[in-house]
Amino acid sequence: MRERIKNREEFLALQEKFMQARSREKRKVLVCCGTGCAAGGNLAVYEELKNQLAAHGAAFELSLNDNSGDAVGLKKSGCHGFCEMGPLVRIEPEGWLYTKVRVDDVAEIVEKTVLGGEFVERLGYHQNGQLYKRQEDIPFYKKQTRRVLEHCGHIDAESIEEYFAIGGYSALYKALFGMSGEEIIAEVSNSGLRGRGGAGFPAGTKWAQVAAHTEEKVKYIVCNGDEGDPGAFMDRSCMEGDPHKILEGMIIASVATNSPEGYIYVRAEYPLAVSRLSIAIAQAEEYGLLGDDILGSGKSFHIHINKGAGAFVCGEGSAMTASIEGNRGMPRTKPPRSVDKGLFGKPTCLNNVETFANVPDIIKKGADWFRSVGTEKSSGTKAFALTGNVVNTGLIEVPMGTTLREVVYDIGGGIKNGKKFKAVQIGGPSGGCLTEEHLDLPMDFDSLKKVGAIIGSGGLVVMDEDSCMVNIAQFFMNFICEESCGKCTPCREGTTRMNEILKRITQGKGRMNDIDELRDLASMIQVSSLCGLGKTAPNPVLSTLQNFEEEYVEHIRDKRCRCGSCKALSQFVITDDCIGCTLCARNCPVEAITGSPRQKHEIDPNKCIKCGTCKDHCPRGAIKEG
Amino acid sequence: METVDLKFIDSVLAKHGGDKAKIIAIMQDLQEQYRYLPQDALEYIAKKVGMSESKLYGVATFYGNFSLDAKGKYVVKVCRGTACHVRKSSSVLQALYDATGTSEHSPNSKDGLFTLEIVSCLGACGLSPVVMVNDVVHAAMTPDKARDLVKQLREEA
């Protein structure tokens, strides 16, 4: 039963109660139930843990509200960011991490670890023959500075009591009872926090602009959780793993700017994030942390969730507000800016999930603490989604200004399968690529801008020597083409023409003047598009042209794709390494492969549809593509 | 007005206060029930919330998640995001097209079981390539696993 907290004293007493309850738990078993681990079967692991603990007669509690004292706390946590090694189970107080856990492993975990306090070695993480028991010692985590993601994976993501127990909502308490609106904004400004959604606009400045509209009674706080960039999932993990942190950040923004209404716009592709946020909002309302007269302070704030409906452009501010209003999500010309006339024509403070998630710590620990990491102009940390052809994929958080080399090699563990590093695509369809020469470039807002890339929302897709850069450029242009809302001509028509040209180049039908034409179109689209989607759409093409022009030329002049990624240009051939096992022939969907058992096989290029199935099945690596 | 249940639509409208601004949420509830947006229902809703049919049609067709055609029992979302792309999601997509008898231009299978959708990112990049069937994520897909998945879904149906 949750009762409304009526005043500050009651809040402090309640927080103390749950801190005690959490510290009394003699052991915690945290089962990751983020999207990744849930897909890997961790929900079943959780259920089995419950059954086994009960069968052993062990005292355990599923919620701090059970308040049973010296028990084992069994919790569903959010995402640890190490999805590749999932399903994950974390054991406290030791901080052990079990990887790739199956239902069959549960009996051993309960008997040895939970009851016996013993580590199960085979479930531990191994790298280069070495065992890492503690999560924080694993190289992937050791080099990180987790601030926004600090509690992701370490607390029950569906329990506000857990959030209280780790000091949650203390920042709100401080903001409500110890600071004026101006002081809150000054703290955020001094921290140097810049918008984590991509453009890097100073958050404090934005808040001050909204706060300055004292003539308006209705103002809005909007949280952008429409993480549409392919290859980015920082905000998803944050919403799933620590939803109250985002709510707390939003409530503080509401107090600072005097805005009584709030919206969180979440992508429809994130059903778990929607559900965790809904639970969090309902819990916060029950305790009176949301709603009218928050903690008896006289302040009010209501949060509504809007589910996106599958339009990338809605991540743009004015398109998002149009969508919340129930319209086609199309951007409009600016000015007026959202801070003056945003949602429903009222001043609106629109920030990204990660931006809001940074706020509670800034208020609690101060601007100087926040500035203690990062660079002068880009303070704090940044979460990145590290994916692609890298050994350790997952969600990471590092100080701003960390170099690409540290991220790819120290945290990511280098390139997969011993291949060579080629490039990193950063910032999704609005970003660019970074190559070997940029490995020691500090990743912060301004350094990246100088080389034609952007931090964007923080997607880092690592590409090895087998990734074709023309193909990647066409991939992004195709994406933009489909997602362009069609309102302005440069973006609608320009990206379509660029996509046509790129398509014909990847099909071996390019012309030499296509490269100039791409550059012309790009500069036209950049200067004349209405919104950020169009203005940045040519970046992936320009950046690959700048760094890999010779690959474009090869595609056009030699009709050759050196990476074998462009299917129309590639051919599959069987080399002399073939042992005649017949696996390729049996798996070929179009019967293009012939040959007798134990004899070298042949592929009929006229029948081959270049699906690559044969290559995947060959035990000897005898099928080459190129 | 035979195909749609007006009582259900009224309940959805009531849940959202008949508010024009909630039209996207209203259509999401509608689509969850029918798996697409029946035309009769849209006409009825337009009248009820005081919006022109053309405007409502405009909103419905703007967003990729809404469908004016009946979708299959299993909506298979194939992620074609960057991370999945560099880990060969195109061959997974092709395998799914072949196994379900669908294609890019006719995404609904004739038996009414499958609808194939391409989505730009499911945010499960660490597990790429991924496929989502209704709300369940399937990780680290291969063409073989994709064919098995279709077979399994057919048996369950």
Q: Do A459 and B82 touch (CB under 8 A)?
A: yes
Closest CA to A122 of A141, A102, A139: A102
Do B107 and B33 belong together in one domain?
no
Whole-model pTM: value is 0.92
Do B78 and B21 belong together in one domain?
no
Number of structural domains (chain B) is: 2
Q: Compute the C-alpha angle A311/A317/A318, nearest 5°.
A: 85
**In this predicted structure, what is the pLDDT of residue A246?**
98
B46 touches chain A (CB under 8 A): no
How far is the C-alpha of A549 from the C-alpha of A537, rounded, in Å?
18
A571-625 CATH fold:
Alpha-Beta Plaits (3.30.70)
Residues in chain B: 157
B102 touches chain A (CB under 8 A): no
Do B40 and B99 belong together in one domain?
no
Mean pLDDT of A366-381: 97
Mean pLDDT of A73-86: 90
Whether B30 is in a domain gets the answer yes
Tell me the CATH number for domain A469-558.
1.20.1440.230
Do B57 and B11 belong together in one domain?
yes
**In this predicted structure, what is the pLDDT of residue A67?**
63
Mean pLDDT of A299-313: 95
The domain containing residue B29 runs over which residues?
A: 6-62
Lowest mean pLDDT among A65-69, A442-446, A596-600: A65-69
**In this predicted structure, what is the pLDDT of residue A195?**
95
State the DSSP code for A427: S
Residues of chain B in contact with residue A84, where contact means CB-CB under 8 angstroms, are 126-127
Closest CA to A329 of B102, B64, B112, B110: B64
Please give the sequence-ordered ranges of beta strands (E in DSSP) within A99-230, or none if there are none: 125-127, 130-132, 220-225
**In this predicted structure, what is the pLDDT of residue A43?**
93
Mean pLDDT of A400-424: 94
Helices marked H in A8-108 — which ranges?
Answer: 8-24, 35-39, 42-55, 106-108
Whether B48 is in a domain gets the answer yes
Find where tokens 């907290």 sit.
A5
The correct answer on CATH 3.10.20.600 for the domain covering A381-464 is yes
CA distance A457 to chain B (A): 13
Give the nearest partner residue to A328 out of B58, B94, B119, using CB atoms.
B58
CATH of the domain at B54: 1.10.10
Q: Is A283 left (phi over 0), alpha (psi -120 to 50) or beta?
A: alpha
Whether B69 is in a domain gets the answer no
Q: What is the 3-state secondary structure (H, E, C) of A524-537?
A: HHHHHCCCHHHHHC
Domain ranges across chain A:
24-137, 168-371, 381-464, 469-558, 571-625
Lowest mean pLDDT among A191-200, A567-576, B92-101: A567-576
Whether B68 is in a domain gets the answer no
Give the nearest partner residue to A463 out of B86, B91, B98, using CB atoms.
B86
CA-nearest residue of chain B to A79?
Answer: B124
Whether B122 is in a domain gets the answer yes
Do B48 and B28 belong together in one domain?
yes
Beta bridge partners of A222: A263, A350
Identify the band that residue A68 occupies on the pLDDT scale cut at 50, 70 and 90: low
**In this predicted structure, what is the pLDDT of residue A303?**
98
Digit-by-digit pLDDT tens for chain B (157 residues) are 447 899 999 999 999 999 999 999 999 999 999 989 999 999 999 999 999 999 999 999 999 889 998 889 999 999 988 778 878 888 899 999 999 999 999 999 999 999 999 887 787 877 889 999 988 889 889 999 999 999 999 999 8
How far is the C-alpha of A236 from the C-alpha of A239, rounded, in Å?
5
Give the nearest partner residue to B86 out of A36, A306, A388, using CB atoms.
A388
Do B57 and B108 belong together in one domain?
no
Whether B110 is in a domain gets the answer yes
Identify the band that residue A146 occupies on the pLDDT scale cut at 50, 70 and 90: very high
The correct answer on CATH 3.40.50.11540 for the domain covering A168-371 is yes
Q: Do A269 and B77 touch (CB under 8 A)?
A: yes
CA distance A84 to chain B (A): 5
Identify the band that residue A35 occupies on the pLDDT scale cut at 50, 70 and 90: confident
What share of residues in chain B are helix, strand, coil (percent, to 5)?
A: 50, 10, 35
Do B142 and B92 belong together in one domain?
yes
B129 touches chain A (CB under 8 A): no
Mean pLDDT of A264-278: 94
Convert the pLDDT of each residue in A197-249 to its tens digit.
888 999 999 999 999 999 999 999 999 999 988 888 899 999 999 999 999 99
**In this predicted structure, what is the pLDDT of residue A583?**
93
Do B115 and B140 belong together in one domain?
yes
Mean pLDDT for chain A?
Answer: 93
Sheet strands side by side (includes B136-138) = B114-119, B74-79, B131-133, B136-138
CA distance A618 to chain B (A): 14
CATH of the domain at B135: 3.40.30.10
Examine the pLDDT at A341 and tell me if it is beyond 90. Answer: yes
Q: Do B82 and A306 touch (CB under 8 A)?
A: no
Longest dimension (CA), chain B: 50
Decide: A318 and A332 in contact? Cβ < 8 Å: yes
**In this predicted structure, what is the pLDDT of residue B1?**
42
Q: Which CATH number fits domain A24-137: 3.40.1190.20, 3.40.30.10, 3.40.80.10, 3.40.50.620?
A: 3.40.30.10
Q: Do B85 and A611 touch (CB under 8 A)?
A: no
Pairing of strands A459-464, B114-119: unpaired
**In this predicted structure, what is the pLDDT of residue B2?**
47
Convert the pLDDT of each residue in A353-364 to its tens digit.
999 999 999 999
Interface of A with B in 37-96 (CB under 8 A): 38-40, 81-84, 86
**In this predicted structure, what is the pLDDT of residue A170?**
97
Examine the pLDDT at A327 and tell me if it is beyond 70. Answer: yes
Examine the pLDDT at A11 and tell me if it is beyond 80. Answer: yes
**In this predicted structure, what is the pLDDT of residue A69?**
65
Whether B67 is in a domain gets the answer no
Q: What is the 3-state secondary structure (H, E, C) of A460-488?
A: EEEEECCCCHHHHHHHHHHHHHHHCCCCC
